[in-house]
Amino acid sequence: MDLSQAEAVADLVSASNAASHKLAISQLKGNFSSKLQMLRDQLLKITSLIELELDFSDQDVDFANREELLQLAKDIDSHISTLARSFEAGLAIKKGIPVAIIGKTNVGKSTLLNQLLHEDKAIVSDIHGTTRDVIEDTVDIHGITFRFIDTAGIRQTQDTVEQLGIERTYQKLEESSIIIWLFDQQPSEEELQSIHTQTEGKKLILVHNKYDLTPNIDIKEAIHISAKQGYNIEQLEEELYQVAGIPEITENDVIVTNARHYEALIHAHKSISRVINNLEENMSGDLLSEDLRICLDQLADITGGQITSTEVLINIFSHFCIGK
């Protein structure tokens, strides 16, 4: 068992949903380790060839074509980059996807939160400005954890405490991956444009609440619900799952969920990118060798091992005929 597999044991114990449980099982089985070993083997091949250039150039050795090395380095970088990019989904699966429920006062945000959580978590009142602070809780949808955040209603107010709550609303908007923007009456085009501007870069779901009272409201691409009556809540949950964009997880998937692994992959990507640039510029083997070893070490850090000079030499003598 290597270090990443040992870390998977802790992830398995702390898994809060089905998807994170499956990813921990995958890592514990060694799927992540196997992929890293494959990358290390390919890097070791390039490193060995570069070491041949540096140390055995006077011997009768057929060196690999630089173009072939360049393509191999690009393939390695593609795999490393794919693993690094998976961390966003991995973190969302492990920690939960933050979803902010935003809207004016008294549009039914707290009622919607209670419906999604299937419990009376938030205080519901007809009085405007009842929610003055953010309220958070989680629920699983198709094995994925969503962290719902009920926020203070947005309006002009002189109440200092309510103003602080509204400031936190905008803060949570920035921190959330998905925004549910709730209406209970027809918004103007200017208001809709403002919402799209404020949520730029976020995944936005427009929701028309109190549909049972105002069925004639027409908001393009909005989901029509009644939080109080529980109408269409399942459709909203399905939309949340689809918008989240998390693929169906199996116990064989390799998705990075550990911040330490992610940092190592980012450093490995930077070093192999330098190798690619130096190969394209036909730079000396000294520069290539240094960055190749950095990349190897970064990948080795994930599993808790290091590539030694002895391993490089063994690889050279096992694959190449030196001195004949």
| Digit-coded pLDDT (tens) for 197-239 | 888 889 999 999 999 998 888 888 899 999 999 999 999 999 9
- Examine the fold and report which residue of 244, 267, 295 is the final residue of a domain before the chain moves on: 244
Q: Tell me, yes or no, whether 120 lies in a domain.
A: yes
Q: The pTM is what? A: 0.76
Block mean pLDDT (10 aa), the chain, length 324: 91 91 94 96 89 67 75 97 95 91 85 86 47 72 89 52 58 82 89 87 93 86 92 96 89 94 98 96 85 94 70 48 49
Q: Tell me, yes or no, whether 158 lies in a domain.
A: yes
Q: In this structure, are 63 and 148 located in the same domain?
A: no
Q: In this structure, are 30 and 105 located in the same domain?
A: no
Answer for the pair 254, 30: CB distance below 8 angstroms, yes or no.
no
Q: Tell me, yes or no, whether 250 lies in a domain.
A: no
Cα–Cα distance, 221 to 223 (Å, whole number)? 7
Q: In this structure, are 155 and 205 located in the same domain?
A: yes
Q: What is the pLDDT, as a whole number, of residue 58?
A: 62
229-283 pLDDT, tens per residue?
A: 999 999 999 999 999 988 888 889 999 999 999 999 999 999 999 999 999 998 8
In the sheet where 203-208 sits, what is the strand order?
Answer: 135-141, 144-150, 97-103, 178-183, 203-208, 223-224
Domains held by the chain: number: 2
Residue 203 backbone dihedrals phi, psi, to 5 degrees: -90, 120
Q: In this structure, are 264 and 185 located in the same domain?
A: no
Q: In this structure, are 281 and 238 located in the same domain?
A: no
Domain housing 185: 96-244
Q: Are strands 144-150 and 178-183 parallel, antiparallel or unpaired?
A: unpaired
Cα–Cα distance, 298 to 266 (Å, whole number)? 9
Q: In this structure, are 29 and 55 located in the same domain?
A: yes
Q: What is the pLDDT, as a whole number, of residue 35?
A: 96
- Examine the fold and report which residue of 218, 244, 270 is the final residue of a domain before the chain moves on: 244
Q: Tell me, yes or no, whether 224 lies in a domain.
A: yes
Q: Tell me, yes or no, whether 324 lies in a domain.
A: no
Q: In this structure, are 76 and 206 located in the same domain?
A: no
Would you state the torsion angle of the CA atoms of residues 105, 108, 114, 118, taken in this order, to the nearest 10 degrees? -170
